Amino acid sequence: MPYRVRSASSVLALLVVCTVWELAVRLLNVPRYILPAPSAIALTIVKYRDHLLLNLFDTLLTSTLGLALAAVFSLALSTVLAYSSSIREAIYPLLSGFNAIPRAALVPLLALWFGLGMVPRVLTAFLIAFFPILVPTLTAMVTIEKELWEMLVAFGATKAQILTKVAIPRATPYFLSSLHMGLTSAIVGSVIAEMVASDRGIGYVILSSTSRLDTPLAFSCLLLLALTTFAISKTLGLIERRVVRWAYRAGL
Amino acid sequence: MGNYLIKLRDVEVRYNNRNGGLVAITGINLTVSPGEVVGIVGRSGCGKTTLLKVIAGLVKPTRGEVIYNGSQDGGGFRGIGMLFQSPLLLPWRTVLRNILLPIELRGEDLDKYVGRALELMERMGLKGFEDSYPWELSGGMQQRVALCRALIHRPSLLLLDEPFGSLDAITREEMWVLLQGAISYENYTTILVTHDIREAVLLSDRVIVMGGRPGRIKAEIPIPFRRPRSLELQYSREFNDYIAEIRGLLGD
Ligand SMILES: Nc1ncnc2c1ncn2[C@@H]1O[C@H](COP(=O)(O)OP(=O)(O)OP(=O)(O)O)[C@@H](O)[C@H]1O
Ligand SMILES: [Mg+2]
């Protein structure tokens, strides 16, 4: 489908969903604190925009910091692990073991160690985001075709050269696309940390508003969070297409 | 035989895999003189690629030895050029940067070789494609790029493993002419592994016939036609006698 038709049809679908939702809430007389109508959510966003934007900014700040940390750390670690198979064999099981710990359960500990400031929120975002970035990046680095590897060695390449000239460029598209997954994970991390150990951020607003049965405010939070995540993800996608155009050569 | 470039003495390669060892080649004695083109034919699995890898230094012989003349006495062994059945080009690099890869790996000044790269490209009919990406080229063109890359550093030894196996008959004949031109122009010592008896006889000074399980040298047939040879030679009586002889040696 051409792009215009496609986006027009998704806008249409969205309108249909909102209309059905609005009508259902009104006709069935669903109380606001159970399910607010789209119009009520929109009004709430307008009414509390300053409060919401401030907290949204806070969440985005901690989650993008966490994501940036996770990206840098994953790239560095996968380079080291790709370089040395003995380090990889020693460390990788530990990492997978760590990944098996539900990171949300760590938030109280992080708060205990680092207080209620930004640090535990950034750390939670980082801890949840880094594994989904590490795995595809590392896999791409260590799965160079045998023949290519042998050809490079025959040309006199050192291991470090193979890493910098082949493994890292080869892993770049995987790394960049894993940032989408990393982004949503980081936001989940920040929001969880805000709910457990913070007095700010979208997670905190959701928690406090639902405890006051202010459901429209909670929905406003969800909507804003979804919209911004979507926008960041789109931006990442644009960068990706620019940087690694060669990886999309089949034009899919 | 005082003057040789490479000498294999009683070489054996045993691969260790799950169900014990597998002797891939055994009792290989082979001397290659400078400027000689040696063709190697044999049935699938008889150890041709293994033999090439031993010569390239990618696999260590489990018995016997491989001696490079010139590497010990500092006589300037300029390394190996390799070409496989698949071009193994790096999709994130332009054609020119792919061709210059061996120079980059050797840490030499790239600028000094750009002129040579362009000249090689012109001889291979690739003029004007230096800034294209490999995936924008046809299979035959990609293989010509790989041939330029194999030649860019004026290697002392050119190793070809079924280089034209994936090309159609007409393109293959074109590649024979180009390869032969490149070999005679700069007098490359070449080892050519192929399934195609015609290709071996047309391009080689000597054809080695290998037998399998474990792989060993069955016969060495000198091909006395003067190089460079024209494609028409294929239709001569003498040429076809060689084909028949080698076909007979390969068995049923
Ligand atoms: N890395 C390896 N580990 C274990 N066995 C191997 C390995 N490489 C090759 N072999 C075995 O060694 C034997 C020779 O393989 P080789 O690839 O040298 O044959 P070939 O003559 O090049 O075959 P083809 O014409 O099909 O390319 C085969 O039986 C193969 O299974
Ligand atoms: Mg082979």
Per-residue confidence band for A82, with pLDDT thresholds at 50, 70 and 90: very high
A8 and A104 assigned to the same domain:
no
Residue of A nearest to B152 (CA): A155
| Within-domain flag for A113 | yes
Is B76 a residue whose pLDDT tops 70? no
pLDDT at position A8 is: 86
Range of the domain at A79: 37-247
Same domain, A239 and A170: yes
Q: Using the beta-carbon criterion (under 8 Å), do A249 and B82 form an inter-chain contact?
A: no
Q: In chain A, which residue's Cα lies nearest the Cα of B153?
A: A155
A94-100 average pLDDT score: 89
Contacts of B72 (CB under 8 A, 6+ apart): none
Ion ligand 2, residues whose Cβ is below 5 A away: B 49
Nearest to A200 by CA among A185, A188, A210, A190: A190
**Considering only CA atoms, which residue is closest to atom 22 of ligand 1?**
B49
CATH number for the domain spanning B203: value is 3.40.50.300
Looking at residue B2, what is its pLDDT?
59
User: Are A11 and A60 contained in the same domain?
Assistant: no
Contact A246 B92 (CB under 8 A): yes
Q: Residues of B with CB below 8 A from A157's CB?
A: 105
CA-based nearest residue in chain A for residue B55 = A154
- The pLDDT value recorded for residue A252 is 61
% pLDDT > 90, chain A: 80
Whether residue A229 is contained in a domain is answered as yes
pLDDT score recorded for residue B72: 46
**Tokens standing for A226?**
């979804």
A80: CATH: 1.10.3720.10
- How many degrees, rounded to 5, is the angle at CA A104 between CA A99 and CA A106? 80
Is position B10 within any domain?
Answer: no
**Dist. CA B44–CA B61, nearest whole Å:** 20
Q: How are strands ordered across the β-sheet holding B6-17?
A: B20-32, B6-17, B63-68
- Spatial contact of B182 and B83, defined as CB atoms under 8 Å apart: no
- What is the rounded distance in angstroms from the CA atom of residue B163 to the CA atom of residue B43? 16
Count of domains in chain A?
A: 2
In terms of domains, do A26 and A138 share one?
Answer: no
Instruction: Give A170→chain B minimum CA distance, Å.
Output: 8
The pLDDT score that the predictor gives to residue A175 is 95
> What is the residue range of B235's domain?
34-56+77-251
- Is the alpha carbon torsion for A91, A96, A100, A101 positive or negative? positive
Question: How does DSSP assign chain B, residue by residue?
Answer: ----SEEEEEEEEEEEETTEEEEEEEEEEEEE-TT-EEEEEE-TTSSHHHHHHHHHTSS--SEEEEEETTTTTT-----EEEE-SS----TTS-HHHHHTHHHHHTT--THHHHHHHHHHHHHTT-TT-TTS-GGGS-HHHHHHHHHHHHHTT--SEEEEESTTTTS-HHHHHHHHHHHHHHHHHHT-EEEEE-S-HHHHHHH-SEEEEEETTTBEEEEEEE--SPSS--GGGGGSHHHHHHHHHHHHHH--
Interface of B with A (CB under 8 A): 53, 56-58, 79-80, 82, 84, 86, 88, 90-92, 101-102, 104-106, 133, 135, 159
User: Is B127 a domain residue?
Assistant: yes
Indicate which ligand has the atom closest to the C-alpha of B216.
1
Give the per-residue pLDDT at B74: 43
Q: What is the pLDDT of residue A251?
A: 66
- Mean pLDDT confidence for B121-128: 93
> Do both A142 and A78 map to the same domain?
yes
How many CB atoms sit inside 10 A of residue A160's CB?
Answer: 9
Look over chain A and give the mean of its residue pLDDT values, rounded to a whole number: 92
First to last CA, chain B: 35
Cβ neighbour number for residue A73 with a 10 Å cutoff: 15
pLDDT-based confidence at residue A247 (cuts at 50, 70, 90): confident
For B136-160, the pLDDT digits (tens) are 999 999 999 999 999 999 999 999 9
DSSP state, residue A201: S
Q: Are residues A25 and A43 in the same domain?
A: no
* pLDDT score, position B78: 75
Residues A69 and A26 in one domain: no
Residue B4 lies in a domain: no
Q: Per the domain annotation, does A252 fall within a domain?
A: no
* pLDDT score of A99 more than 90: no
Please check whether residues A177 and A221 belong to one and the same domain.
yes
**Total domains present in chain B:** 1
pLDDT tops 60 at residue A194? yes
Report the helix count and the strand count for chain A, using DSSP H and E: 11, 0
Report residue B79's pLDDT band, with 50, 70 and 90 as the boundaries. Answer: confident
Q: What is the pLDDT of residue A116?
A: 86
What string of DSSP letters covers B181-236?
A: HHHHHHT-EEEEE-S-HHHHHHH-SEEEEEETTTBEEEEEEE--SPSS--GGGGGS
Selection from A238-252, B74-88, B212-226 with the highest mean pLDDT = B212-226
What is the Cα–Cα distance from A166 to A175, expressed in whole angstroms?
A: 14
Looking at the fold, whether A25 and A64 belong to one and the same domain comes out as no
The percent of residues in chain B predicted with pLDDT above 70, rounded, is 96
Ligand 1 atom nearest residue B25's Cα: 14
Cβ distance A161 to B58 less than 8 Å, yes or no, reads: no
Look up residue A167 and give its DSSP letter.
I
Q: Which residue has the tokens 């939070």?
A: A221
List pLDDT tens digits, range B30-69. Answer: 999 999 999 999 999 999 999 999 999 999 999 999 998 7
Q: Given a cut of 50, is residue B245 above it in pLDDT?
A: yes
Same domain, A25 and A59: no
Q: How confident is the model at residue B212 (pLDDT cuts 50, 70, 90)?
A: confident
Could you tell me if A19 and A92 lie in one domain? no
Report the alpha-carbon distance of residue A20 to residue B23 in Å, rounded.
73
- A72/A16 same-domain check: no
Q: Is A148 on the interface with B (CB under 8 A)?
A: yes
Rg (alpha carbons) of chain B, rounded to whole number: 18
Q: What is the pLDDT of residues A15-51, one digit of tens each?
A: 999 999 999 999 999 998 899 999 999 999 999 999 9
